[in-house]
Amino acid sequence: MRLLFASLVILMLATPVAGHELSVYTVMVNSEGAHPADIPNGSLKEGDAAWFWMKDSTNNTTLVVQLEHEGASMRSPVLHYECEMKENGTELVDENCKNRFDYTFNQMNSAGLWNITFLKYVDNNLTETINGSVYVLEDVHDDETNETIDDASTKTDLTSKEVIAGSVATISLIAFVIIYSKMDDDSLTEEE
């Protein structure tokens, strides 16, 4: 029974899994503009996040980030260079003060072109508008064929890697069973 359980555990650990590790892309906005305003295509997939940091220390400058996708738009709260802290150093004087806007692209329906607009204000007057964009890739979890599309729209078939990984896992399992059964036979022979 232990042999069966150990074999199943090894098989589950060796089985390849499709998907991607979620990532975060950082955009800094300072007195010279947004870096980068255009997030490189292929940098983000559905489920990934973008962090927009306000790093412009010019007096009384604030930032609003607007994201648009397929006619829908959303705006960040007003972002400040720094937020004043209370004397204890751990609490904000104004709990609504933010210097970073985090946006996570939905895992189901956010693939496609997103327009990004950076609106810089000085003393509450709009002084600069910077436009950018990002193309968010679809996060495909297809068991038969996994394909990744890059800027040149070339496709790479990952099925052969999965077949090789599955074969290695199967061979490892068979080798484990043979070695374990030999060890059992040897221990029985030694007892006699």
Q: Please report whether residue 53 resides in a domain.
A: yes
Q: For residue 33, what is the enclosing H or E element? A: strand 33-35
Say yes or no: 134 and 185 in one domain.
no
Q: Please report whether residue 6 resides in a domain.
A: yes
Say yes or no: 12 and 60 in one domain.
no
Q: At 4, list the tokens.
A: 């069966």
Residue owning tokens 């499709």 = 18
d(CA 26, CA 134): 12
Q: What is the CATH number of the domain that holds 105?
A: 2.60.40.420
Domains: count for the chain: 2
Q: Please report whether residue 151 resides in a domain.
A: no
Give the residue numbers spanning the domain of 163: 2-16+158-191
- Tell me whether residue 180 is exposed, middle or buried, using C-beta atoms within 10 angstroms of its C-beta: 0 to 12, 13 to 18, 19 or more: middle
d(CA 87, CA 158): 56
Q: Please report whether residue 68 resides in a domain.
A: yes
Say yes or no: 10 and 36 in one domain.
no
Residue owning tokens 């970073």 = 100
Q: Please report whether residue 150 resides in a domain.
A: no
How distant is the alpha carbon of residue 150 from its chain centre? 16
pLDDT value of residue 78? 96
Say yes or no: 43 and 69 in one domain.
yes
pLDDT tens for the 192 residues of the chain, in order:
565 555 555 555 555 554 557 789 999 999 999 999 999 988 899 999 999 999 999 989 999 999 999 998 999 999 999 988 888 888 889 989 999 999 999 888 889 999 999 999 999 999 999 999 999 998 876 543 444 444 333 333 445 556 676 777 778 778 777 777 776 665 555 555
Say yes or no: 116 and 174 in one domain.
no
Q: Please report whether residue 127 resides in a domain.
A: yes
pLDDT value of residue 15? 52
